[in-house]
Structure 1
């Protein structure tokens, strides 16, 4: 067990989540002109909530993958998979 990689991957995952949240919220506001749907807002349009969820999930997955690939390169794990 490589504790250094565990720390790097955890920090990378947290950073990716934060970055994805910022990108999606700002992108949503730019594209629609209003704030992203809030989980406590029961007045939002269901279609808008579904579209936002799909966009947010896809964005988070892509950013997380890119961050983990870069962390993998920087950390020096070479060709090993990120899940090792």
Structure 2
């Protein structure tokens, strides 16, 4: 069970001030985060510690994170919004 205070904190940390990131991260934390297992939650929190420019490149698929955990969470977020 995810505490509401944790969701509130993550919501505000997910608002990056860059529209391209906000439209991916805010809905993910609101709609998906609570259903993630502990490892994926930790990956999401790790993602939030990254630089916006790095995340922008990853989400625009111009590059990939070197870290395997970050690659996994970036892929999860992208898979939610991309048609298969």
TM-score (norm 1): 0.27
Q: Which has the higher contact order (CA 8 A, sep 6+)?
A: 1
| Rg larger for | 1
